[in-house]
Chains A and B, each alone.
Chain A
């Protein structure tokens, strides 16, 4: 008897120890506090540029500032000239299309469509001076715009429709004396306003990030870690880490949360296990466009209406543009739940001249991936829809000339004539135009990466693990507990339950009735 008890006792100890050992959290990523310590320390430059005589003079041309910069920082301009910020294209492998050189320079989107023939306006955001037409070739390192990214005075601005030249109001000497590491203000000036207005394109990059509170962005919060864009988008030799899938297609050079947080950042291993198939962003960015609305639909076909021969704009009650004669009508959204899809870091793109089937919506870019692909995870995306111009005979998208320097040059924004605009634009990209145009639905997919919410706001389990219309209701290819079930198993299960209960009630009922009868007869 005693032996049995002893054996039982030992067995019991094993039974408790084994699961405990199996359950030990073995994560060894640096804890959050270490990261916070690391990024709380803000470095200050030991160099005061305002003391350099080279910078204390009147600059007539911005190129003279660049010359002054590279007189000390020699070789840096060459680095910039090898960067995407300068070249606006890079060599990418596109599945099914091979190796192509793609980028802003030659790829279409479904916002302002494309830059060819519209350069002076679009190239306001080029990291150089004088990108004025398709043939512009940037071989002169003096054309590198150091100030756009390195101005720390907050007074530098590029001229509207000036092909990247600084605004005439800018005091170049003052700016040159106040340079330093890029801040959110430098990056945001272009990246928050892509597509012609605040938050138009991304939905997660917008002017609220100039000075965000912690509930807007846990990383960049000025009342928190106050991180800058370049803390994550680090650079080596002016080659920035990170890119967007609107213009790139390969899984390389990506900024990953895991770089700092590791792949097992949670205390709970059930959550850590999710990281194999779920991107961090999926749970930690529960909504996008949380401060200002982002554009969801852009209908170019409505563009060109005039009042008394003049273009006009309509705003909704919140002051957001809903119609512009030059651009058409828009739909915006705020506090949006993202769409979700499998994404392995590669994308395909619609390229100029590709034929498509206009009876179906055209994906201008498509994010690739599936459950079975070990590189894929579920990512949150913003889907932007548009009605945009295409050639109804050749079945390809049209690059229109939109920007108009002066009335009569064929730019749609001056003349409001699609025929001429399409003709000039297509000539500029070197593709035939049939003379017949129409509008077709196009879609773009924008991964959501920014405006990470605090962990308290992260998506809760039951927002996905639910049968009724969870966040991942549309994401296919796998079995998710709480969402999925096999209908045959359910039928079998409930059928069996019904049979058992029925049997019990019938059997019990008869027993009850008979025993009552017996009692009465006794």
Chain B
């Protein structure tokens, strides 16, 4: 058994605050969308706005952290091992095969995660933030009057914001489930709380190979190992 330090303190803080904010934004947002009544419309709007600003502040910190620490490179999508990872989820996981990629502090995302998170960070979150800001500011009070952005109504903004929200819900569902796909059902969760992940030695060996060579043959070998 190896204990590997994966998630920095800020990273964990950021993750959990972001999780709370996204859940809260989701609940208040879908209430504003008219799907249910929970806080009451007026409160939902107020809370949604407060949470939105908190989220934007958090994003500002996170961006700063990503660039000063070079962590943004973690999210550079790569085709390397994508197939192995996909095959793991489709076949290997059922046979209790080892994970094809190993989490380290230098490479904490598997290739599929890289794609999903890059999409999340480069596409969905910016879309949500921008459409959200337009939502807030398409009408804005000036000294003596209320002015309006010339966008002819909320239709487009609202549709984009809603699509983004639905994508985030799906991400959230899948994300919750994928927590359980660590070495043990709880090890991913533990890692995000403590920062350390426990990895059985057998997998360390197999995965280190993958990381080092990263060739197709090795992927084949990984599969061999898994058999």
Using a CB–CB cutoff of 8 Å, the interface residues on chain A facing chain B are 4, 7-8, 11-12, 14-16, 19, 22, 25-29, 262-264, 269-270, 272-273, 275-276, 371-372, 460-462, 465-467, 478-486, 489, 492-494, 496-497, 499-501, 503-504, 507-508, 510-511, 514-515, 518
Residues of B within 8 A of A371 (CB): 153
Give Cα A27–Cα B141 distance, bound, in whole angstroms. Answer: 8
Residues of B within 8 A of A503 (CB): 174
- Contact-residue size bin, chain B (C-beta under 8 Å from the other chain): 35 or more
Distance (whole angstroms) from the CB of B146 to the closest CB of chain A: 4
Using a CB–CB cutoff of 8 Å, the interface residues on chain B facing chain A are 32-34, 37, 40-42, 45, 49, 53, 56-57, 60-61, 64-65, 68, 89, 93-96, 137, 139-146, 148, 152-155, 158-159, 162-163, 165-167, 169-170, 173-174, 177, 180
Closest to B64 in A: A11
Q: Take A15-B61, A462-B37, A479-B155 as given contacts and tell me if A26 and B143 are in contact as well, using a CB distance cutoff of 8 Å.
A: yes
Looking at B95, B141, B180, the one whose CB has the most chain A CB atoms below 10 A away is B141
Closest to A273 in B: B139
Q: Tell me whether B60 and A15 are in contact (CB under 8 A).
A: yes
Q: Tell me whether A462 and B94 are in contact (CB under 8 A).
A: no
Give Cα A29–Cα B146 distance, bound, in whole angstroms. Answer: 13
Give Cα A276–Cα B64 distance, bound, in whole angstroms. Answer: 38
Residues of B within 8 A of A514 (CB): 94-96
Distance (whole angstroms) from the CB of B118 to the closest CB of chain A: 19
Q: Take A461-B45, A482-B33, A482-B41 as given contacts and tell me if A15 and B170 are in contact as well, using a CB distance cutoff of 8 Å.
A: no
Complex partner residue of B33 from A4, A11, A485, CB under 8 angstroms:
A485
Q: Tell me whether A500 and B173 are in contact (CB under 8 A).
A: yes
Q: Tell me whether A493 and B166 are in contact (CB under 8 A).
A: yes
Give Cα A515–Cα B140 distance, bound, in whole angstroms. Answer: 58
21 contacts between A and B (CB under 8 A): A4-B68, A8-B61, A15-B61, A16-B57, A26-B143, A263-B144, A263-B146, A273-B141, A372-B152, A461-B40, A465-B34, A481-B32, A481-B34, A481-B158, A485-B162, A486-B155, A496-B169, A497-B170, A500-B170, A500-B173, A514-B94
Give Cα A478–Cα B155 distance, bound, in whole angstroms. Answer: 7
Complex partner residue of A485 from B34, B40, B152, CB under 8 angstroms:
B34
Residues of A within 8 A of B42 (CB): 460-462
Q: Take A372-B152, A461-B41 as given contacts and tell me if A264 and B33 are in contact as well, using a CB distance cutoff of 8 Å.
A: no
Residues of A within 8 A of B137 (CB): 22
Give Cα A7–Cα B93 distance, bound, in whole angstroms. Answer: 43
By secondary structure, the A interface counts as helix
Complex partner residue of A466 from B34, B49, B142, B158, CB under 8 angstroms:
B34
Looking at B57, B146, B180, the one whose CB has the most chain A CB atoms below 10 A away is B146
Residues of A within 8 A of B32 (CB): 465, 481-482
Q: Tell me whether B56 and A273 are in contact (CB under 8 A).
A: no
Residues of B within 8 A of A467 (CB): 34
Give Cα A358–Cα B174 distance, bound, in whole angstroms. Answer: 61
Complex partner residue of A7 from B64, B96, B146, B154, CB under 8 angstroms:
B64
Residues of A within 8 A of B64 (CB): 7-8, 11
Q: Tell me whether B143 and A466 are in contact (CB under 8 A).
A: no
Q: Tell me whether A478 and B141 are in contact (CB under 8 A).
A: no
Distance (whole angstroms) from the CB of B31 to the closest CB of chain A: 8
Residues of A within 8 A of B41 (CB): 460-462, 465-466, 482
Q: Take A371-B153, A511-B94, A515-B96 as given contacts and tell me if A263 and B145 are in contact as well, using a CB distance cutoff of 8 Å.
A: yes
Q: Tell me whether A273 and B177 are in contact (CB under 8 A).
A: no
Residues of A within 8 A of B170 (CB): 496-497, 499-500
Give Cα A518–Cα B93 distance, bound, in whole angstroms. Answer: 13
Q: Tell me whether B94 and A19 are in contact (CB under 8 A).
A: no
Q: Tell me whether A264 and B146 are in contact (CB under 8 A).
A: yes
Residues of A within 8 A of B174 (CB): 500, 503-504
Residues of B within 8 A of A484 (CB): 158
Distance (whole angstroms) from the CB of B62 to the closest CB of chain A: 11
Task: Other than A482-B34, A493-B162, give 18 A-B pairs with Cβ distance below 8 A.
Answer: A7-B68, A8-B64, A19-B56, A26-B141, A263-B144, A264-B145, A272-B141, A371-B153, A461-B45, A479-B158, A480-B154, A481-B34, A489-B162, A494-B166, A497-B169, A497-B173, A500-B170, A507-B177
Give Cα A514–Cα B89 distance, bound, in whole angstroms. Answer: 14
Closest to B63 in A: A11
Q: Tell me whether A489 and B141 are in contact (CB under 8 A).
A: no
Q: Take A273-B146, A481-B154 as given contacts and tell me if A508 and B177 are in contact as well, using a CB distance cutoff of 8 Å.
A: yes
Give Cα A7–Cα B40 distance, bound, in whole angstroms. Answer: 39
Distance (whole angstroms) from the CB of B163 to the closest CB of chain A: 6
Residues of B within 8 A of A507 (CB): 89, 177
Give Cα A14–Cα B137 distance, bound, in whole angstroms. Answer: 19
Distance (whole angstroms) from the CB of A52 to the closest CB of chain B: 47
Give Cα A482–Cα B36 distance, bound, in whole angstroms. Answer: 10
Q: Tell me whether B94 and A12 are in contact (CB under 8 A).
A: no
Closest to A510 in B: B94
Residues of A within 8 A of B148 (CB): 276
Give Cα A461–Cα B53 distance, bound, in whole angstroms. Answer: 22
Complex partner residue of B56 from A11, A15, A492, CB under 8 angstroms:
A15
Give Cα A154–Cα B169 distance, bound, in whole angstroms. Answer: 69
Give Cα A514–Cα B142 distance, bound, in whole angstroms. Answer: 64
Residues of B within 8 A of A29 (CB): 144
Residues of B within 8 A of A4 (CB): 68
Give Cα A142–Cα B148 distance, bound, in whole angstroms. Answer: 54
Closest to B40 in A: A462
Give Cα A461–Cα B177 distance, bound, in whole angstroms. Answer: 37
Closest to B173 in A: A500
Give Cα A460–Cα B55 distance, bound, in whole angstroms. Answer: 28
Give Cα A518–Cα B140 distance, bound, in whole angstroms. Answer: 63
Closest to A504 in B: B177
Distance (whole angstroms) from the CB of B213 to the closest CB of chain A: 29
Q: Tell me whether B140 and A270 are in contact (CB under 8 A).
A: no
Give Cα A262–Cα B61 distance, bound, in whole angstroms. Answer: 40
Residues of B within 8 A of A494 (CB): 166
Q: Take A482-B32, A497-B173, A507-B177 as given contacts and tell me if A264 and B141 are in contact as well, using a CB distance cutoff of 8 Å.
A: yes
Q: Tell me whether A496 and B158 are in contact (CB under 8 A).
A: no
